[in-house]
Amino acid sequence: MNWVVGISLGMLVIAALLTTVHVARSSTLPDKAIGVDMLVALVLNGLAVGAAFTKDDLSVSLVLIIGLLAFLGSVTIARYIERRGL
């Protein structure tokens, strides 16, 4: 179980680095919003892997809460793009 969790978290970290580079390099606001959305999904993945590894109660609650907050953030950015432009 140890090395499986290690490989999973390693892949997630590489994915997060790639996504961060994309957010930094992209020029328009929708691109950045997609990247940030993706980053939150990656955090969710990491928390779920952590919850599966440690069987921790807190991580399980955090998966639920961060999922809802991610939706709120994306909708807010989308409204901002609609009203203010790219």
What number of residues does the chain have? Answer: 86
Smallest separation, CB 6 to another protein (Å)? 10
Q: How many residues bind another protein (CB under 8 A)?
A: 51
Question: What distance lies between CA 9 and its chain's CA centroid?
Answer: 13
**Number of C-beta neighbours around residue 79 at 10 A:** 10
Which 42-61 positions form the footprint of another protein (CB under 8 A)? 42, 44-45, 48-49, 51-53, 55, 57, 60-61
| Structure-token match 């990247």, residue found | 35
Contact 44, 66 (CB under 8 A): yes
Rule CB under 8 A: say whether 68 interacts with another protein.
Answer: yes
**Number of C-beta neighbours around residue 18 at 10 A:** 13
Question: Footprint of another protein on this chain (CB under 8 A)?
Answer: 1, 4-5, 7-9, 11-12, 14-16, 18-19, 22, 28, 30-31, 33-35, 37-38, 41-42, 44-45, 48-49, 51-53, 55, 57, 60-61, 63-64, 67-68, 70-71, 74-75, 77-79, 81-83, 85-86
